[in-house]
Amino acid sequence: MKKILYITSLLLVISVLPTACARLDLEPYNEVDESKTFNSKRDAELWVNGMYNALRDANQGKQMYASDVQADYLNAAQGMEKAPNMHRWSLFNTSEETTATIWKERFLIIQDINIALKGFPKIPEQNEIKGLTGALYLGRAYCYTYLVTHFCKPYKAATAATDLGLPILTDTTLKNFPPRSSVKDTYAFILSDIAQAETLLASETGEEGADTFTIDAVKALKARVLLYQNDWAQAYQVAEQLIATGHYPLASSATAFGKIWTEDSNTENITQLYAAISAGVSEVSNNTNDLYLSEQESFFIPGQIEASPNVLPTQDFVDLFEADDWRKDVFLKSVDIGFFSLYAVNKYPRNEKLELANSVFFYYGHKAKLFRIAETYLIAAEAAFKNNDETNAKRYLNLLRAARGLAAVTTTGNDLFTDIQNERSRELCFEDFRLYDLSRWGLPVKRGTPQDLSSIRSTPAEDYNELNIQVGSAYYHKIVWPIPADDIDYERGKWKQNPGW
């Protein structure tokens, strides 16, 4: 595996600051002396390493779990502290700090990428930094894909040219932002960056657990974006090509599958970013998905571990898993909540390998999994179905099911599509896919039955366990996040707010 040294670039150190105020206009803009910054291949490596550091942070914590907290598979536990207003749709508004911070942090990564793209042509060793330049383009496409799937409507061919997209930032500063483009233009921009990456990363062969971007990472993102753009034929073709490389065999046992999550094994991972504790030096993210378990050692009974999850999976979600499904014992864990034993989410368990010695706090961060081959199988299945190819839809769906201990499905028509949707919901649960899937499929957000009503917040019920946001209803527009109110005000009419907010 190609190992890299993760050293955060100067500008990333400056720009990733405490985010109590998330307005873009309040960010300290720092002039970079490019004559002293971009002189050698080593300078390029430092900037790209800084990007990977930022992406590692961005793929854990709020940017990973906020949409799932808002969606339908989680109930708020009594002690919920993480993004409570997003869970309660009636309280979610344009001043929500969680979404404002996410908006800013993604554009800060984009800004730093743009600075590097402007400066890299000054470096003499152009042939030697092709791959690094390609990584920047893919990183920018990756960030824009996140933003367009959270802050814009799903792609619809009939309205994409007029639906509000993102400001296309290619400049090196967050000042003087361009106006919002259309959804169509945003997707075109993402795909143009992917095309650049495809050329520049062509010689970067993929392998399991690669901790930098490779040509296979390009294909993984391209398949995802084409699926979201409803380009079924192209999405299927790219997904099929990636699977056919044979670089990423599916797990062959329940034990091997479990280690993907408990030990950050390389299995099935197309891109899994570096993280380690070495000689007391911490190369890990401060952002974690600790809300799912929040365990600690009992104060009264030494050695006993007690869980205090912020959220609990609904009974409807638990019931998605058959008894033989390997994922059930990996993604779910029985914990004691009051007088009841209930399932908690265990997809991001305590990671002792990345815990500092003698730490009194459990660490729930992991090597960030940007692309997994399982998603590619699901893309192939969905795209084939939408392209009226049920044979290959079942083929890729059943290959994945077999690698999870399950029997093949034989359904057809709408029942087959439901099976594809449910498989995606199981496999990609709590990886920041569910809310956008509901949006692009045109489905309501109906929160499932709780495992135990007394263990969750339930007043008012319509905000918690009985949440039922039907398509076209008063709150359904909130499935698309708002542009931060402060930034709308600052741009003085240049930016339009998303409809309904």
The whole-number pLDDT of residue 29 equals 33
Is the domain of 183 the same as that of 330? no
Q: What tokens appear for 442 in the block?
A: 């045109």
pLDDT above 50: residue 2 = no
Residue 455 lies in a domain: no
Average pLDDT of the residues in 16-31: 38
The whole-number pLDDT of residue 360 equals 80
Q: How far apart are CA 384 and CA 467, in angstroms?
A: 33
Q: How far apart are CA 103 and CA 326, in angstroms?
A: 36
Is the domain of 179 the same as that of 251? no
- How many domains is the chain built from? 2
Is the domain of 163 the same as that of 246? no
Is the domain of 388 the same as that of 425? yes
The whole-number pLDDT of residue 34 equals 58
pLDDT tens for 173-189 read: 777 789 999 999 999 99
Kind of pairing between the strands at 468-469 and 445-446: antiparallel
Residue 121: band (very low, low, confident or very high) from pLDDT cuts 50, 70, 90: very high
Residue 174 lies in a domain: yes
Residue 465 lies in a domain: no
Question: At which of 380, 398, 431 does a domain end?
Answer: 431
Question: At which of 431, 456, 489 does a domain end?
Answer: 431
Radius of gyration of the chain measured on its C-alpha atoms:
22
- Number of residues that this document lists for the chain: 501
In this predicted structure, which of 229-233, 291-295, 426-430, 439-443 has the lowest mean pLDDT? 291-295
pLDDT tens for 190-201 read: 999 999 999 999
pLDDT above 60: residue 6 = no
Is the domain of 379 the same as that of 248? yes
pLDDT above 80: residue 312 = yes
Residue 269 lies in a domain: yes
Say what percent of the chain tops pLDDT 70: 92
The whole-number pLDDT of residue 493 equals 79
Q: How far apart are CA 218 and CA 200, in angstroms?
A: 10
Is the domain of 337 the same as that of 262? yes
Residue 16 lies in a domain: no
Is the domain of 199 the same as that of 64? yes
CATH (domain of 105): 1.25.40.390
- Average pLDDT value over all residues in the chain: 91
Number of helices (H), then strands (E), belonging to the chain: the values are 18, 14
pLDDT tens for 194-225 read: 999 999 999 999 999 999 999 999 999 999 99
pLDDT above 80: residue 108 = yes
Range of the domain at 232: 225-276+291-431
pLDDT tens for 450-482 read: 999 999 999 999 999 999 999 999 999 999 999
**Cross-strand bridge partners of residue 35:** none
Residue 92 lies in a domain: yes
Question: At which of 403, 431, 459 does a domain end?
Answer: 431
Is the domain of 342 the same as that of 479? no
pLDDT above 80: residue 20 = no
Is the domain of 251 the same as that of 343? yes
The whole-number pLDDT of residue 350 equals 94
pLDDT tens for 332-345 read: 999 999 889 999 99
Residues with Cβ < 8 Å from 215, sequence gap 6 or more? Answer: 198, 201, 202, 203, 204, 205, 206
Is the domain of 315 the same as that of 382? yes
pLDDT tens for 122-132 read: 999 999 999 99
Is the domain of 152 the same as that of 269? no
Side-chain-facing half-sphere of 100: CA atoms under 13 Å = 20
Average pLDDT of the residues in 349-359: 89
Looking at per-residue confidence, does 18 or 346 come out higher? 346
Residue 233 lies in a domain: yes
Looking at per-residue confidence, does 371 or 488 come out higher? 371
Residue 151 lies in a domain: yes
What does the H/E/C string look like for 294-339? CEEECCCCCCCEEECCCEEECHHHHCCCCCCCHHHHHHEEEEEECC
pLDDT above 90: residue 302 = no
Is the domain of 163 the same as that of 252? no
Residue 32: band (very low, low, confident or very high) from pLDDT cuts 50, 70, 90: low
Q: What tokens appear for 125 in the block?
A: 């060793």
Q: Which residues of 406-417 are buried (b: 16+ CB within 10 A; e: fewer)?
A: beebeeeeeebb
